[in-house]
């Protein structure tokens, strides 16, 4: 249940067995079925979630009813609406399971307690948040300057082996392109190989 969390934490910081045992007591194990929600727009985001198994997406819905996907979270990744999580304000996002998921959830008070009791976790989450900020900036720049094909190729490189699990319309939504454009890009890439 905690194997991947332990592995991912150990890639960044060193924690003793006792420290990790304490860490486990602060996480809530949660299973979600496909299409169940971790968070609905308008709710306060009470948890940040580590993905032991499965895939989730976070998205918004605009006034016209169109979905805009902010993020996919795969195994070994984290997902939350950080703004809502840190400020207790209502979220503008929905977080949905795209397949059966096993998650480990931590609340803000437990997060703060973890930092207090095991200060090394401040470094761990600083690096996670740094990487998140870098990825967000790259995606923002990419959306302004890259071609649709370049965006797609970057996505494939970011989620190797996982893209075939995602519905095509969701990949298109994430990239901000139409399904037809996505099909054309994939056709062109496979013809080049």
The answer to the question of residue 33 lying near other proteins (CB under 8 A) is: yes
- Span from 31-39, 53-61, 69-77, 152-160 in contact with other proteins (CB under 8 A): 31-39
Q: What CA–CA distances, in Å, run from 67 to 14, 142, 179?
A: 40, 20, 14
Q: Smallest gap, in angstroms, from Cβ of residue 153 to other proteins?
A: 38
**Binding of other proteins at residue 1 (CB under 8 A)?**
yes
Span interacting with other proteins, options 28-36, 85-93, 122-130, 166-174, rule CB under 8 A: 28-36
| CB proximity list for 15: less than 8 A, separation 6 or greater | 9, 23, 118, 120
Does residue 29 belong to the site contacting other proteins (CB under 8 A)?
A: yes
Residue 106 has phi, psi (to 5 degrees) of -135, 135
One of 26, 45, 73, 98 touching other proteins (CB under 8 A):
26
Task: Give the footprint of other proteins on residues 98-157 (CB under 8 A).
Answer: 105, 107, 110
**Residue 74 found at the interface with other proteins (CB under 8 A):** no
Q: Which is nearer to other proteins, 25 or 164 (CB)?
A: 25
Determine whether 181 is exposed, middle or buried from the number of CB atoms within 10 Å of its CB (0-12, 13-18, 19+).
middle
In the β-sheet with 78-79, what is the strand arrangement from edge to edge? 28-32, 101-107, 47-53, 78-79
Which of residues 15, 27, 72, 152 is near other proteins by CB under 8 A?
27
Tokens for 68, please give them: 């805009």
Q: What minimum distance in Å lies between the beta carbon of 95 and other proteins?
A: 14
Please provide residue 67's backbone torsions phi and psi, each rounded to the nearest 5 degrees.
-90, 140
Nearer to other proteins, 27 or 59 (CB): 27
Beta strand pairing status for 56-61 and 47-53?
Answer: unpaired
For the record, the structure tokens of 151 come out as 């965006």
User: 92 or 110: whose CB is closer to other proteins?
Assistant: 110
Q: How far apart are the first and last CA of the chain?
A: 39
Minimum CB distance to other proteins, residue 29 (Å): 5
- Binding residues for other proteins, per CB under 8 A? 1, 24-33, 40, 105, 107, 110
């Amino acid at each position: 249940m905690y194997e991947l969390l332990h592995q991912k934490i150990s890639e960044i910081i060193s924690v003793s067995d006792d420290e990790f045992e304490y860490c486990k007591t602060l996480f809530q194990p949660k299973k979600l079925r496909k299409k169940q929600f971790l968070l609905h727009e308008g709710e306060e985001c009470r948890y940040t979630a580590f993905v032991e198994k499965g895939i989730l997406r976070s998205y918004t819905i605009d006034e016209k009813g169109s979905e805009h996907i902010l993020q996919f979270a795969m195994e070994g990744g984290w997902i939350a609406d950080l703004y809502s999580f840190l400020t207790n304000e209502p979220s503008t996002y929905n977080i949905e399971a795209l397949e059966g998921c096993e998650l480990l959830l931590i609340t803000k008070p437990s997060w703060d307690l973890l930092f207090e009791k095991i200060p090394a976790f401040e470094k761990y989450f600083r690096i996670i948040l740094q990487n998140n900020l870098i990825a967000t900036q790259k995606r923002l720049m990419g959306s302004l300057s890259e071609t649709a094909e370049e965006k797609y190729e970057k996505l494939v490189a970011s989620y190797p082996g996982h893209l075939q699990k995602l519905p095509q319309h969701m990949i298109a939504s994430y990239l901000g392109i139409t399904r037809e454009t996505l099909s054309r890009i994939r056709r062109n890439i496979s013809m080049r190989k």
